[in-house]
Structure 1
Amino acid sequence: MSSAPESAHISSLGKGDGIRQQVLASFPLCDMTEDDLSQNPQFCVLLATLTQHLDRTGLTVPLKTELDKADQKLQSHRRQWLRSEGLHKGLQEMIQDHCVRKHHATIPPDQSMFYETMQRCLLVAQAVRLLDPSCPTSQDKTSILGLKPQQVEELMPSEKNVQRMKQSLPRELEKHLKKNCLSLLSYYQPEWESESDGLKTTKLSHLSSQLEQEKKRTESLKETCKENMVLLQRQTQLYLCELTKCIQLLQSLIMDCRLKIQTDLDRKKLDYFEAKCELVLQKVKTEMVEIQLDTYTVDSISAHRKMREKLDSELKACQAEKQSVELKLASFEILGKEFEALAEEYCKLRQEIETKNWVLKEFTH
């Protein structure tokens, strides 16, 4: 039963690019692209369904309503606090201005009494507020110097001075606030400072609307800047994705071209090294021939040839003598160990004869 309404709801959302654009517009803070939604259609349908229950910030409709009510209540309390705080700050500024003027000019007695009364009332009110046990700042604390609010209220000025101060306070406060507003107007538009007070007052009545317009325009520019920032981030992400794809495609093209060209390049390098090696071998042979030609002339070659013939003849004679000696030695070895002893004795006798002949020759000299 529930599938029919759900399908009808999904069909009402749109199809294709329309639903994706709706999702991207409804969730500007999400880091998503149209490609992500096209690759996950069910997730796109889920987000499109959630747009009926969520706002642009991701809050549900009931929660957003409660949040708006709480915000309105907070703004109301904030306005009340700002009103009382602004009034208190204005009174303190008036007292400060009076203290400064008192050191530079003579102040009338009634005006001095007005400011002194107002200052004492503010101090007593502040002290009573600090000593009030119902105040959140004074809970679970001992009384300051053992004082009670009733003891501090006894320091209030006389009722007559207080009433006189209250009668003059709206007029003086209005003058002070008007002065501050004119200063604000001069700060906001410095070129209006030389104009008359009446014209300044007229422009001052429109200052709040101008400031409100400036505030709205600033908030609109901030919102536009935020949207542009989100759009820029999304475009940057898309650009980086496309750039990554281009780099991958370029790398694949480079690899394909490199593999095709590498074989031809290797073959050419091989032919080059073979030719270079052959050239080096020919050069070595040429150098060897030149060295031989420089070393062996015609006369040296004929002399070497004769020397070789003589050495060959001597070698043949030595080889023949060697063979005869080897034959004799073989015949002697046949006789055995007895002949070896006789040969050693014979050698000793020959050495003694040679030694005696040498001694005899030396004596004859």
Structure 2
Amino acid sequence: MSQRSDTVFVSSLGKGDSLHQQVLAAFPLCQMTEGDLIQNPLFCKLLATLSQHVDRTGLTQHLRRDLEKAERELHTQRLGWLRVESLHRVLQEIVQEHRFSKDSNADEKFFSTLERCLLLGQCVRQLDCCSDLSEHHNTVLGLSEERLMRQMPPEQEVLQMNQRLPSELLKHLKKKAVNMLSYYQPEWENESEGLRNVKLSKLPELLDSEQQKAKSLTEKNRENSTLLQRQTHAYLSELLKSMKILQCLILDLRLKAQKDLDRKKIEYFEAKCEIGLQRIRLEMLQVQLDTYTKDKIAAHKRITEKLNAELKTSEMEKQAVESKLASFEIYGKDFESLVEEYSRLRQEIATKSWALKEFAT
């Protein structure tokens, strides 16, 4: 039964282009193409089944729930820390602006009390960080939270500072909001106070919409980047295939062109060689014409005729001698012994004749 279902699934892959697109959309981080899924239908089936249990990032539903829960807890803790940190930084900005301002009517006691409280609060927080690392770790300079709290301003000054602090904080935040509004929309800077307050009330919504727009653009940019990466991979694959085909065509055409070129070169060298041979023959004939005149040619003809006649006479003598030798060969070995004896006797006669001639003189 499973084999039959697999066969039906595989046979439907050729038609199910939407299935391939769904698999590619379910796994955008994988470097796959539609051709890869068509060539591997069982792998495509595995991915289609797996996409029902994992998300686009590859996490299972259980891990996704745990991750979302941890992210919510982290977001809550981060939000609380950001509130405290933002308030602390705003208060530091208030103190710094007062320190560098030239306002002589400012309440020095309020700002000095605020600065002192901020500094001690920062020291206490630093001590808390050290105590979290190790319970037996010695604190900086041997300080403790109780010892630091003794350095706090008088309670009456702290109470007066706390009563005035919200108004100062609101004033400073309003100033920062106006500066932000002027930076974000410079044309609103010259508006009236009431209209500016109305637009300030709408600034958070405007900033949220801009932030959502930026997030959507970021997500769209990420999707476009994934799509571009996939298209680039497909483009490079097609480009490599085209380059291979082009290389084969170039090699084939080059071989054909080389064959024709070699044939033409052979024909050229053959014609050149024939021209060279004709020149050599021409030079030889020219040398012969320059060397042999008509008189010399006539003399050479007479010499040639005389030599031919002597050659014929010599050949006739040769034939006569060969016939005599053939007649002598009839007698066989006995005749050879007689010839040797005859040669010996002639040599003795010649020797004795010479001796008699010598004695006679």
Q: What TM-score comes out, normalization by structure 2 length?
A: 0.75
1:28-43, aligned counterparts within 5 Å? 28-43=28-43
Query: Which residue in 2 is equivalent to 1:18?
Result: 18
Tell me by how many angstroms 1:255 deviates: 4.5
- For the Cα contact (< 8 Å) 1:132–1:138, is it kept in 2? no
Give the letter for the 1:88 counterpart: H
Give the letter for the 2:218 counterpart: K
Tell me by how many angstroms 1:159 deviates: 1.4
- For the Cα contact (< 8 Å) 1:24–1:32, is it kept in 2? yes
Check if 1:246 corresponds to 2:242: yes
1:260-271, aligned counterparts within 5 Å? 265-271=261-267
Change (3 A) 1:148 1:267: closer
Further displaced range: 22-31 or 203-212: 203-212
Check if 1:233 corresponds to 2:233: no
- For the Cα contact (< 8 Å) 1:129–1:135, is it kept in 2? no
Task: Please give the secondary structure, in 2, of the residue aligned with 1:176.
Answer: helix
Check if 1:58 corresponds to 2:54: no
Query: Which residue in 2 is equivalent to 1:326?
Result: none
Change (3 A) 1:298 1:238: same
Change (3 A) 1:288 1:170: same
Query: Which residue in 1 is equivalent to 2:91?
Result: 91
1:209-220, aligned counterparts within 5 Å? 209-220=205-216
Unaligned runs of 5+ in 2: 312-342
- Supply the distance in 2 between the matched residues of 1:10 and 1:284 (Cα, whole angstroms): 84
1:91-130, aligned counterparts within 5 Å? 91-101=91-101, 104-108=102-106, 111-130=107-126
- For the Cα contact (< 8 Å) 2:98–2:111, is it kept in 1? yes
Identical counterparts, % of pairs: 50
Tell me by how many angstroms 1:55 deviates: 0.9
Query: Which residue in 2 is equivalent to 1:179?
Result: 175
Change (3 A) 1:121 1:247: closer
Tell me by how many angstroms 1:281 deviates: 0.8
**Count of aligned pairs:** 318
Question: CA RMSD for the aligned pairs?
Answer: 3.8
Q: 2:218 aligns with which of 222, 236, 239?
A: 222
- For the Cα contact (< 8 Å) 2:130–2:137, is it kept in 1? no
Tell me by how many angstroms 1:258 deviates: 5.2
Give the letter for the 1:94 counterpart: I
Task: Please give the secondary structure, in 2, of the residue aligned with 1:206.
Answer: helix
- For the Cα contact (< 8 Å) 1:117–1:165, is it kept in 2? yes
- For the Cα contact (< 8 Å) 2:131–2:137, is it kept in 1? no
Q: Cα deviation per residue 1:176-223 (whole Å; 9 max; x = unaligned)?
A: 111111111112222222222322222222222222221221222122
Tell me by how many angstroms 1:70 deviates: 0.8
Give the letter for the 1:16 counterpart: G
- Supply the distance in 2 between the matched residues of 1:285 and 1:23 (Cα, whole angstroms): 84
Q: Cα deviation per residue 1:94-152 (whole Å; 9 max; x = unaligned)?
A: 11111112xx24134xx111111111222222233334598425744323333332222
- Supply the distance in 1 between the matched residues of 2:176 and 2:134 (Cα, whole angstroms): 34
- For the Cα contact (< 8 Å) 1:37–1:43, is it kept in 2? yes
Change (3 A) 1:297 1:46: same
Query: Which residue in 2 is equivalent to 1:168?
Result: 164
- For the Cα contact (< 8 Å) 1:95–1:115, is it kept in 2? yes
Q: 2:146 aligns with which of 143, 147, 150?
A: 150
- For the Cα contact (< 8 Å) 1:28–1:56, is it kept in 2? yes
Further displaced range: 65-74 or 289-298: 289-298
Query: Which residue in 1 is equivalent to 2:191?
Result: 195
Tell me by how many angstroms 1:248 deviates: 2.9
Give the letter for the 2:83 counterpart: R
- Supply the distance in 1 between the matched residues of 2:254 and 2:130 (Cα, whole angstroms): 86
Change (3 A) 1:193 1:135: farther
- Supply the distance in 2 between the matched residues of 1:33 and 1:107 (Cα, whole angstroms): 73
Change (3 A) 1:295 1:140: farther
Q: What TM-score comes out, normalization by structure 1 length?
A: 0.74
Tell me by how many angstroms 1:43 deviates: 0.4
Change (3 A) 1:62 1:291: same
Query: Which residue in 2 is equivalent to 1:296?
Result: 292
- Supply the distance in 2 between the matched residues of 1:274 and 1:203 (Cα, whole angstroms): 97
- For the Cα contact (< 8 Å) 2:27–2:56, is it kept in 1? yes
